[in-house]
């Protein structure tokens, strides 16, 4: 059975003390996480090690890096290698968020390298894909997302692909207040699973968690997560508000 996941992406927000208070408040209301659920907090790099002690020993609750470099080591000032992330015990890393693609020109080929490095260290990549507004308006979103998957993930074998979590982000719905309807989200998630099925077979595709990322809030989480191919959310702004993210966690199916 594939995991249902509530993943928080704090992006470049909060001081360490603010982040610690936020995490503790959320966890104080989440007494236990069922075995088929996972709660993941992608926090800024400086906070990963100090916050690790808060989640340590809690079942199915994890910290995640927001990004990693596509090389193992070297003269890349300011970057963070997968080995470094693994050395502090992390099990997740966000790869290919739309903001990384847009602002840092990360290509599908570079993201394939990042996925590979994560998997060599048994770190689960939360691989982001999704279309901008002009592609959606042109009705070309299915082909656009399929190409992202093909160029970044389809070199993986049947065993490796099941170790990846996919997050669909309609870029036009990130930070805009717009949200894809539950029907639109389900339509794309079903398409992604069908693309995976063609490549790897239906049994493998059925084991891969596909999250929705795009203005997920406490108010719409239940409806979104009730869709058969939506396995939780990658949550931005609402994850910075304790009561919002608590609602989102409790909305997991």
18 is catalytic: no
Q: Please identify which of the residues 38, 106, 131, 169 carries the catalytic annotation.
A: 169
Task: Kindly name the residue from 97, 99, 189, 244 that is annotated as catalytic.
Answer: 97
* Domain regions of the chain by residue span: 4-250
DSSP 181-228: -HHHHHHHHHHHHHHHHHHH-HHHHTTS-EEE-SS--HHHHHHHHTST
Q: Which fold has domain 4-250?
A: TIM Barrel (3.20.20)
155 in active site: no
Q: pLDDT per residue over 59-107, tens digit each?
A: 999 999 999 999 999 999 999 999 999 999 999 999 999 999 999 999 9
pLDDT tens digit string along 122-149?
A: 999 999 999 998 999 899 999 999 999 9
Distance of CA 248 to the CA centre of its chain: 14
């Amino acid at each position: 059975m594939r995991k249902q996941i509530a993943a928080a992406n704090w992006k470049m927000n909060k001081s360490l003390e603010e982040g610690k208070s936020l995490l503790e408040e959320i966890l104080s209301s989440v007494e236990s996480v069922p075995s088929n659920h996972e709660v993941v907090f992608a926090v800024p790099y400086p906070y990963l090690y100090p916050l690790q002690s808060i989640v340590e020993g809690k079942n199915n609750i994890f910290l995640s890096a927001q990004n990693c470099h596509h090389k193992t080591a070297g003269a890349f000032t300011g970057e963070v290698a997968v080995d470094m992330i693994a050395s502090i015990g992390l099990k997740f890393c966000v790869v290919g968020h739309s903001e990384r693609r847009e602002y840092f020109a990360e290509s599908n080929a570079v993201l394939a390298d990042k996925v590979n490095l994560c998997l060599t260290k048994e770190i689960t990549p939360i691989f982001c894909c999704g279309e901008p507004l002009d592609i959606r308006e042109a009705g070309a979103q299915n082909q656009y997302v399929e190409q992202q998957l093909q160029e970044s993930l389809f070199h993986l074998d049947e065993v490796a692909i099941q170790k990846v979590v996919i997050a669909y982000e309609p870029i036009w719905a990130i930070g805009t207040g717009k949200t894809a309807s539950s029907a639109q989200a389900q339509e794309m998630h079903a398409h992604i699973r069908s693309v995976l099925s063609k490549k790897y077979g239906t049994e493998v595709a059925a084991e891969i968690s596909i999250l929705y990322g795009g203005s997920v809030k406490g108010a719409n989480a239940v409806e979104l997560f009730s869709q058969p191919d939506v396995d939780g959310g990658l949550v931005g702004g609402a994850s910075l508000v304790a009561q919002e993210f608590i609602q989102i966690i409790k909305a997991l199916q």
